[in-house]
A and B are shown apart, each in its own frame.
Chain A
Amino acid sequence: MSLQHPEVVRLDLPARYTYLHILSDCIADMLRQIDGIEDHEMLTYNMQLAAHEACTNIVGHAYAGSQSGNERIVISLALFPHPRRLQIELRDTGRSFDPEEVPTPTLDQAQVHGYGLFLMRNLMDSVTYTPQPGDNHWCLVKHL
């Protein structure tokens, strides 16, 4: 099917790894509608991985130590026809961080941190993170 209008899916999930498969399924379903993609399986895998890395960051860092049980990730997935792209926005109300302070992994030193952000930046065309008290915002964009 060729996309004529933006298609948007919104999810409001508990910030737990258990529910990330819902996000994966949505990404796969949305990309399945796009014609003319060379390697569908690889693209879907990479988009799922990038989105999961953002969620892993939110669950493992933004909400680390939170015990209210009501931590959530609000996600908006949008498929735009012109220019054709997938945009994944994620919001959380947890602790923010400064992406500039996350070191790029140095393989020689077997550094163990920073792979999540590094992967996201390599898998997507654009990754922005806007920290704001009570409303941290990730925006991941991939041109298709």
Chain B
Amino acid sequence: MEISHRAMNRVDLIEVVGRIDAATASKLKQQIDALFAEGRYRIVLDLAGLEYISSPGLRVLIEARKRAREWKITDLEGGDIRIANLPPKIKEVFDLTGFTSLFEMYADTVEAVGSF
């Protein structure tokens, strides 16, 4: 799995390419935790290159979403994990687990970054 990160003014964009599974999920968690440690809680995950995700990866996403949403500036503005470019075969897994309704999803990263 390859992770690349781009910091913008208000939002961080993380691109994940490859597999998020039991062997690699901790690497993604470390990347997200590092941003949280810097007080950055607005994160877009670009998953266009995601080939596979299993339960350890889903766990990282749901924990990160929970922590990001706990950070609030106002009742209307705060942290979140938002997803761009979810591949169709991964979307089926998201549908099965109920993740589709849990995460805000966008067709591209521009839209996702702009949503914050």
Contact = CB atoms under 8 A, between A and B. Distances in A.
Interface stretch (B36-44, B72-80, B93-101): B93-101
A17 B56 CA distance: 12
Contact of A115 (B92, B97, B101): B97
Interface stretch (A68-76, A83-91, A116-124): A116-124
Interface in A31-84: 41-42, 45-46, 48-49, 52-53, 56, 59-60
Residues of A contacting B: mostly: helix
Contacts, number: 59
Nearest to B54: A52
B17 interface: no
Nearest to B51: A45
A90 B21 CA distance: 19
Contacts of A111: 62
A122 B66 CA distance: 24
Nearest to A17: B23
B55 A53 contact: yes
A116 B92 contact: no
Contacts of B92: 42, 46
Given A45-B89, A110-B63, A115-B59, A53 B54 contact: yes
Contacts of A113: 59
Contacts of A14: none
Given A52-B21, A60-B22, A107 B55 contact: no
Interface in A97-137: 105, 107, 110-113, 115-116, 118-119, 122-123
